[in-house]
Amino acid sequence: MRTALTDLVGVRHPLVQTGMGWVAGPRLVSAVAEAGALGILGSATMTPDGLRAAIRKVRSRTRQPFGVNLRADAGDARERVDILIEEGVRVASFALAPSRELIARLKDAGVVVVPSVGARRHAEKVAAWGADAVVVQGAEGGGHTGEVATSVLLPQVVDAVGIPVVAAGGFRDGRGLVAALAFGAAGVAMGTRFLLTADSTVPDAVKAVYLAATVRDVTVTTKVDGLPHRMLRTPFVAGLERSGRLGGLVRSLRHAAAFRALSGSGWAAMVRDGLAMRHGRELTWGQVLMAANTPVLLRAAMVDGRTDLGVMASGQVAGVIDDLPTCADLVGRVMAEAEEVLAALGAPGAAP
């Protein structure tokens, strides 16, 4: 199926596996790329050296194009951008809007820039700054998320910008892809669906918790890092919701120290990142500190398999996913279903 997205990034299918910290590593990304979709490495939780090694690992496993997701507000974003350019990565994806300067630098080097946004005005801003496409994530999506549902946000953004729009938040199958195309999207991006595949390195015990979840077991909390964050409602998350300010601050300090060790970033870099996060937002220093929690708590679940004290970021769609296909099977099945739906709708040019 050819769309503005497949033309832009050179993949066979208009499907994207989004960059997810600790989840979207070389194994998942290369499996997605080999399946003909766009895989994106989640690099926010990697050191710069780790990022370079991960890019090379993907490259050793596939010749297909892939992308890297960066935190636009990270103090070392520029260094990471240089790594993408040096390593010849096809697509740069961003959590939060990147600066005009970063976009220009990547585009000058021939990298396709596709920021993820959760609001129309952010889409308008990055489009005006030269982004090649945007991923727009509706409220039902996993991880940090906004308030407006995909069904409302997607057509709003499609109407507002003149660049290809990729729909995210709540997608898992071929019907969803056709619905997104009907809204004017150039494809869909899926996080939770790709996390729940046989190729994802997330521990089996953690996948089992996702598979058992109903749509009502997925919640949004600000208690992890001060920003609305969609995740599975576990007893641990319920405990965070009940905890007071002081307990939260002590916990945050502990996790901030752990993150420093994991990410290799010094305290100065963390304070710089914290200042960048505060910029333009109503975050207290306590909340900035809490932000350092997220990578550590995600890691506990996604890498160490600690379902008891980890954070399991998740879209609502986890409640309607009940299997763990390979990426090849998943992509094949989504595309086959999309063709069937288009044919049933009598769409011109669709398979009979």
Q: Which residues contact 253 (CB under 8 A, 6 or more apart)?
A: 289
Report the DSSP pairing between strands 229-232 and 143-144. Answer: antiparallel
Which of the 8 DSSP states describes residue 19?
P
CB-side neighbour CA atoms (13 Å) of 79:
13
98 binds ligand FMN (CB under 6 A): no
Ordered DSSP codes for 288-305: HHHHTHHHHHHHHHHTT-
Binding piece for ligand FMN, criterion CB under 6 A, among 162-170, 178-186, 263-271, 340-348: 162-170
Q: Which residues contact 95 (CB under 8 A, 6 or more apart)?
A: 19, 44, 69, 70, 71, 72, 116, 144
Min dist. Cβ of residue 20 to ligand FMN (A):
3
Q: How many residues bind ligand FMN (CB under 6 A)?
A: 28
Min dist. Cβ of residue 318 to ligand FMN (A):
8
Is the separation of the CB atoms in 104 and 128 below 8 Å?
A: no
CB atoms near residue 250 (< 10 Å): 11
Q: Which residues contact 303 (CB under 8 A, 6 or more apart)?
A: 22, 203
Min dist. Cβ of residue 19 to ligand FMN (A):
5
274 binds ligand FMN (CB under 6 A): no
15 binds ligand FMN (CB under 6 A): no
- Contact with ligand FMN (CB under 6 A) among 32, 35, 44, 324: 44
Min dist. Cβ of residue 155 to ligand FMN (A):
17
CA distance 100 to 255: 32
- Contact with ligand FMN (CB under 6 A) among 23, 134, 157, 181: 23
Binding piece for ligand FMN, criterion CB under 6 A, among 126-134, 167-175, 178-186, 260-268: 167-175
- Which residue's beta carbon is nearest to the bound ligand FMN? 191
Min dist. Cβ of residue 286 to ligand FMN (A):
22
Min dist. Cβ of residue 330 to ligand FMN (A):
12
Which of the 8 DSSP states describes residue 313?
B
Encoded amino acid at 157, one letter: V
310 binds ligand FMN (CB under 6 A): no
Binding piece for ligand FMN, criterion CB under 6 A, among 12-20, 56-64, 82-90, 261-269: 12-20
Binding piece for ligand FMN, criterion CB under 6 A, among 140-148, 210-218, 255-263, 336-344: 140-148
265 binds ligand FMN (CB under 6 A): no
Min dist. Cβ of residue 333 to ligand FMN (A):
16
CB-side neighbour CA atoms (13 Å) of 326:
10
137 binds ligand FMN (CB under 6 A): yes
CA distance 146 to 169: 10
Residues that bind ligand FMN (CB under 6 A): 18-21, 23, 42, 44, 69, 95, 116, 137, 140-143, 168-171, 190-193, 195, 313-315, 317
